[in-house]
A and B are shown apart, each in its own frame.
Chain A
Amino acid sequence: MKTTVALALLVATSSVLLGQQPMQSKRPAFNPRTLARAFRPIVDAPMRPGSEVGDDVVADSELVLGVVVEGKARAYPINQLTGPSREIINDKVGGKAIAATW
């Protein structure tokens, strides 16, 4: 146990002395776990003028993720972005291809 701690300290000190980026070393290794099959991408979600929608689409007190690109504003209600199938919306706003996600 003591050896392990001493070794860890030595490695940590060496990386500082050698000027390595500690962020690279401390970031967790990429070892994802597969929990489900890949979902189909969402590419054609319907968008409507905000002035025309009612509470059935989004209510005043609901949270939205808002973005403005080239003067064009778009809102994504968080209550429509939950669940694994909905976490990424492929969209285009103000001519820019974006992935709406949070």
Chain B
Amino acid sequence: MYARSVKGRELTFSVSGMLWNRSLVMLDQETRSLWSHILGEAMDGDLKGERLESIASTMMDWKSWKEAHPKTTVMALGRTSKEYRLEFQKKPNTFVLGLVHDGDTIAYPFDLLAKRQVVNDVAGRVAVVVTFDSASTAGQIFSRAVDGKALTFKAGEQGRMTDAQTGSVWHAVRGACESGELKGKQLEPIPANISYRKTWATFHPDGRTFGED
């Protein structure tokens, strides 16, 4: 998920019909520059070298999403497939949650996330927590900083996590503190990409995979 304004100019993207290492190449209508979908970077054309701002998004089942966001709107363009249901992400070794942040590139395999539920890590100089909810198959990354201090999280019951510093209870997918001393605090989401493990590895050859260091 990307913002599509670059230097104050709004761009309109389409599928270019080209693939680069089996990965989608996007075309902007305004300058006809070619953009790598996975890198979010213009590879050719007038905007070569420009990057798109990533926007935090989450993949989960529709029931969980509308419960979390009762006022949500939804696209109604008609189906082009039927295979992407909850069971799809239950083959978790296929995908990674990919993070490029503060000069660091890290892949978090979904099978590891499914086992651990909550992973504390550091990307560059930024303390992050990666959360995974098995019920909705949602994976999410947040900064662990709250009021200038980094918290450490451990998995709790029913999609919740607790921080070691205060014992407060947080909703793991929303990153919102629900009870305890920090009630009402919200963790800052950090954009990440769901990607096929092999594709991510091709485009980020120098990145690390969490759990394989």
Given the interface pairs A34-B17, A39-B17, A67-B56, the reply to whether A101 lies near B1 with Cβ below 8 Å is yes
CA distance A42 to B73 in the complex (A): 18
CA distance A35 to B19 in the complex (A): 7
Flag if A50 contacts B89 (CB, 8 Å): no
Flag if A99 contacts B76 (CB, 8 Å): no
A residues contacting the other copy or chain, number (CB 8 A): 66
B residues contacting the other copy or chain, number (CB 8 A): 68
CB-CB < 8 A to B79: which residues of A? 77, 79-80
Flag if B21 contacts A28 (CB, 8 Å): yes
CA distance A90 to B29 in the complex (A): 11
CB-CB < 8 A to A60: which residues of B? 61-63
Given the interface pairs A60-B61, A61-B85, A79-B79, the reply to whether A67 lies near B1 with Cβ below 8 Å is yes
- Measured between C-beta atoms, what is the minimum distance from B150 to chain A in Å? 24
Q: Among residues 85 to 142 in chain B, which have CB atoms less than 8 Å away from a CB atom of chain A?
A: 85-89, 105, 137
Q: Which of B14, B63, B76, B82 has a CB less than 8 Å from the CB of A57?
A: B76
Flag if B89 contacts A63 (CB, 8 Å): yes
CA distance A31 to B20 in the complex (A): 6
**Which partner residue on chain A sits nearest B174 by CB separation?**
A68
Which of B5-13, B151-159, B163-171 lies at the binding interface? B5-13
Q: Is B179 at the interface (CB under 8 A from chain A)? A: no
Q: Is B146 at the interface (CB under 8 A from chain A)? A: no
Q: Is A6 at the interface (CB under 8 A from chain B)? A: no
Given the interface pairs A31-B20, A50-B66, A79-B81, the reply to whether A63 lies near B14 with Cβ below 8 Å is no
Given the interface pairs A57-B74, A65-B57, the reply to whether A98 lies near B29 with Cβ below 8 Å is no
Q: Is B27 at the interface (CB under 8 A from chain A)? A: yes
Flag if A73 contacts B60 (CB, 8 Å): no
Flag if A67 contacts B57 (CB, 8 Å): yes
Flag if B17 contacts A38 (CB, 8 Å): yes
**Which of B36, B56, B77, B78 has most chain A Cβ within 10 Å?**
B77
List 22 interface pairs A-B (beta carbons < 8 Å), by A numbering.
A22-B206, A28-B203, A42-B14, A50-B66, A53-B76, A57-B74, A61-B63, A61-B87, A63-B85, A64-B62, A66-B58, A74-B75, A75-B72, A75-B74, A77-B84, A78-B59, A79-B84, A82-B84, A90-B12, A99-B26, A99-B52, A101-B37
The 5 A-B residue pairs with the shortest CB-CB distance in the complex, in nearest-first order: A73-B69, A60-B63, A36-B17, A78-B84, A41-B14
| B interface list, Cβ under 8 A from A | 1-5, 10, 12-21, 24-27, 29, 34, 36-37, 43-44, 52, 55-63, 65-66, 69-89, 105, 137, 193-194, 202-206
